Amino acid sequence: MTTQVLPASDWRSRAEEHEAAVDALTAARLERRTDGRKHPVEDFLFEYYHHRPGQLRRWHPGAEVALEGAAERADWPFYAYAEGRARVDVASFVAKRESVLLFVRALLTSTLSRPGRFGCFGLHEWAMVYRADDEAIRHGGWPLRLGPDGTNEVVEQATITCSHFDAYRFFTPDAAHLNTLAPTREQQVAMEQPGCLHAGMDVYKWCFKLSPLVPSDLTLDAFRLAREIRELDMRAAPYDLTELGYEPVRIETPEGRAEYAAAQRRFSERSNDLRRRLLDILAGS
């Protein structure tokens, strides 16, 4: 594959545009941190995934791209600098991160091979508060729309079909056995399916975990999608977040379930597009 060479004026302009986009998306998060305020929707992608705004802000061109005049990248992880140009050191990255590469390839390929399932209705968030003490509720600063008893009743009357281990592992002990599936970390490749909101958000995780091999435009696209998915995730959750401007998706009603499933289908299509883009990049590594 021929390496694309970007002149300094070109790639620095791209990097500045990326930084400005990230700054706009993360400004509220940074402002809240100064006074300790929490946001159950917008903070999730940083606190759960442990990828800081400053890390997201750092622009990478991806593999097979050389940057002229980028001497400052000579000591960046997984970069090589020679003859006045910096580029991602693909061989070094693969040597040190091969297990992650193989896992992500297998997971994305497996996920794409399956049809999405759209009957979970976001009940994972309800199962996370089922019969929980007040101090055990993850977002305890926000009231439950239906109160504790009403929330428990929704869970008890529903069929819970959560296929994603990283959602299932947060179920309360009383809710865990109500799930019709029993996902484990070892079964993740075998069980992941594109209708799952958390699997859609995780595409962002796989992008940044494979940085700088993955170009930042893809990582930022995945971040934007993950933000939208998280909003639906919490609008369908049992919490009352109207104070933050989020109208609930009332999945305890037929209309709310239909609204949720329709949005879920749209997110599934978009997350699959990102999975294909990421696999195309990994195919050359």
pLDDT, averaged across the chain: 95
- 65 forms beta bridges with 4
- Taking only the tens place, the pLDDT of each residue in 153-174 is 999 999 999 999 999 999 999 9
Q: Confidence class of residue 137 from pLDDT cuts 50, 70 and 90?
A: confident
pLDDT of residue 2: 57
- The backbone region for 184, taken as left when phi is positive above 0, alpha when psi lies in -120 to 50, beta otherwise, is beta
Length of the chain in terms of residues written:
285
| Inter-helix orientation angle 197-209/216-235, to 10° | 150
pLDDT of residue 135: 72
pLDDT of residue 235: 97
249: helix, strand or coil: coil
**Is pLDDT above 60 for 114?**
yes
**Is pLDDT above 80 for 230?**
yes
Q: Which two tokens stand for residue 192?
A: 């992941």
pLDDT of residue 141: 83
Q: Confidence class of residue 83 from pLDDT cuts 50, 70 and 90?
A: very high
Half-sphere exposure of 94 (CA within 13 A, CB side): 11
Q: Do 119 and 202 meet the contact criterion of CB atoms below 8 Å apart?
A: no
| Mean local confidence (pLDDT), 213-234 | 98
Q: Confidence class of residue 215 from pLDDT cuts 50, 70 and 90?
A: very high
| Mean local confidence (pLDDT), 174-189 | 96
Q: Which residue has the tokens 């299509």?
A: 269
- Taking only the tens place, the pLDDT of each residue in 22-54 is 999 999 988 888 887 788 999 999 999 999 999
| Mean local confidence (pLDDT), 129-140 | 83
pLDDT of residue 34: 81
